[in-house]
């Protein structure tokens, strides 16, 4: 099976790019730093926006005096156990009509709580979204591992789930795609057999596992507009993002 991936939400003028792509995106903002440029790019491309608890603090504070446009970036929902949400941030968004939902379930993370809210929305409306997670690939190691775990689990129920920071974008491959500096990471599996084309260091029926070969810091080949990856098991694909790729 061959599966083609594209990232219209990272293309310049992503709103126009989205018009050519019928897929809808849900943006979930985590409690990690991000720039205004990346936020705006993903916000404009998304139909539904949700802050996972302290992610609301990040949204509020990123839109500081330099970018005094907070009322243009009101999320559809703030949800979590609310142990990280500051009182002033909560009061601001509630005053502007944003629902703040306190979920006391200690068996699910704030990210999982937001994904549950999205699933409820999809069932009620008969709609389907691809998920963009803003954050989750830096900071505390346990939180990064949790994000990678969620990417791995969600592949069973969703075709496309992406996690982004200002430096990287990552998703789980069941088969295929593209980058510049990139990595093919056998996370959550014992091993996989890899064959690639379009990379500087290609593999042919190579066994990849944490005890053996792991393809990190690989590169795209200039002039190649497609990377082909054949994997026998789900694989985490990560790609470096250049600052100059976020243009408006």
Quote the pTM value: 0.70
- Using a pLDDT cut of 70, give the percent of the chain over it: 85
Going along the chain from its start, the domains and CATH numbers come out as 24-166 (3.40.50.10240), 169-242 (2.60.120.320)
Band (pLDDT 50/70/90 cuts) for residue 246 is very low
Task: Select the more confidently predicted residue: 246 or 130.
Answer: 130
| Mean pLDDT score across all residues of the chain | 83
What pLDDT is attached to residue 108? 86
**239 to each of 36, 77, 123, 164, 210, how far by Cα in Å?**
20, 29, 32, 10, 19
Residues 125-164 pLDDT 10s: 999 999 999 988 777 778 888 887 888 888 878 888 888 8
Angle at 116 between CA 154 and CA 157, to 5 degrees: 25
């Amino acid at each position: 099976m061959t599966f083609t991936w594209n990232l219209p939400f990272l293309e310049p003028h992503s709103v126009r790019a989205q018009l050519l792509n019928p897929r809808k995106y849900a943006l979930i903002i985590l409690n990690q730093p991000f720039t205004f440029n990346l936020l705006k790019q993903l916000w404009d491309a998304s139909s539904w926006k949700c802050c996972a608890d302290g992610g609301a603090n990040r949204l509020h504070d990123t839109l500081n005096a330099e970018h005094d446009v907070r009322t243009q970036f009101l999320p559809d929902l703030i949800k979590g156990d609310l142990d990280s949400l500051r009182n002033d941030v909560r009061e601001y968004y509630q005053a502007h009509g944003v629902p703040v939902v306190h979920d006391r379930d200690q068996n699910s993370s704030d990210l999982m709580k937001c994904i549950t809210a999205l699933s409820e929305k999809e069932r009620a409306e008969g709609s389907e979204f691809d998920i963009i997670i803003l954050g989750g690939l830096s900071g505390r190691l346990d939180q990064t591992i949790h994000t990678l775990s969620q990417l791995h689990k969600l592949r069973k129920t969703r075709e496309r789930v992406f996690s982004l920071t200002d430096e990287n974008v990552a998703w789980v491959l069941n088969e295929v795609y593209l980058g510049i500096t990139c990595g093919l990471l056998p996370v959550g599996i014992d091993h996989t057999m890899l064959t690639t084309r379009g990379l500087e260091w290609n593999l042919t029926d190579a066994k990849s596992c944490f005890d053996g070969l792991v393809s990190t810091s690989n590169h795209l080949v200039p002039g190649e507009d497609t990377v082909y990856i054949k994997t026998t098991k789900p694989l985490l694909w990560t790609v470096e993002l250049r600052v100059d790729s976020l243009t408006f």
